[in-house]
Amino acid sequence: MNNLIDVSICIPTYNQTKYLIKTLDSILNQTYRSFEIIVSDDSSTDDVKDLIISYSNNNPSIPIKYIKNNPSLGSPENWNNAILLAKGDWIKIMHHDDWFCDNKALEIMIDVAIKNPNSLVFAGIKGEIVKENRNYVNLPTQSHVSVLRNDPFSLIWANVIGPPSSIMFPRIEVEFDKALIWLVDIEFYLQLLINHKMKLVYIEQVLFENCHDEHNITNECFQNKKLELKEFNYIFKKFFPKPSLIQLIWFFRLLKKQISTYSRISYVELITYYFKKI
CB 154 within 8 A of CB 146: no
pLDDT at 69: 95
CA gap 48, 39 in Å, rounded:
9
CA atoms within 13 A on the CB side of 89: 12
Residue 144's SS3 state is helix
CA gap 148, 28 in Å, rounded:
33
CA gap 189, 168 in Å, rounded:
11
pLDDT at 4: 62
Burial class of residue 154, CB neighbours in 10 A (0-12, 13-18, 19+)? middle
pLDDT tens for each residue of 187-231: 999 999 999 999 999 999 999 999 877 555 554 555 678 888 899
pLDDT at 94: 96
Strands 7-13, 199-212: pairing kind = unpaired
- pLDDT-derived band at 156, boundaries 50, 70, 90: confident
pLDDT tens for each residue of 19-61: 999 999 999 999 999 999 999 999 999 999 999 999 999 998 8
- pLDDT-derived band at 277, boundaries 50, 70, 90: low
Domain 7-219 CATH class label: alpha beta
pLDDT at 2: 43
CB 7 within 8 A of CB 168: yes
pLDDT tens for each residue of 160-171: 999 999 999 999
- pLDDT-derived band at 259, boundaries 50, 70, 90: confident
The pair phi, psi for residue 54, each rounded to 5°, is -65, -45
Q: What pTM, to 2 d.p., does this model score?
A: 0.91
Section 124-150 average pLDDT:
90
Q: Which residues 6+ apart lie within 8 Å of 250 measured at CB?
A: none
Residue 39's SS3 state is strand
pLDDT at 3: 47
Q: Could you tell me which of 158, 213, 212, 165 has the C-alpha nearest to residue 183?
A: 158
Helix (H) or strand (E) holding 38: strand 35-41
Section 262-266 average pLDDT:
84
pLDDT at 54: 95
pLDDT at 1: 38
The pair phi, psi for residue 137, each rounded to 5°, is -135, 130
pLDDT at 222: 57
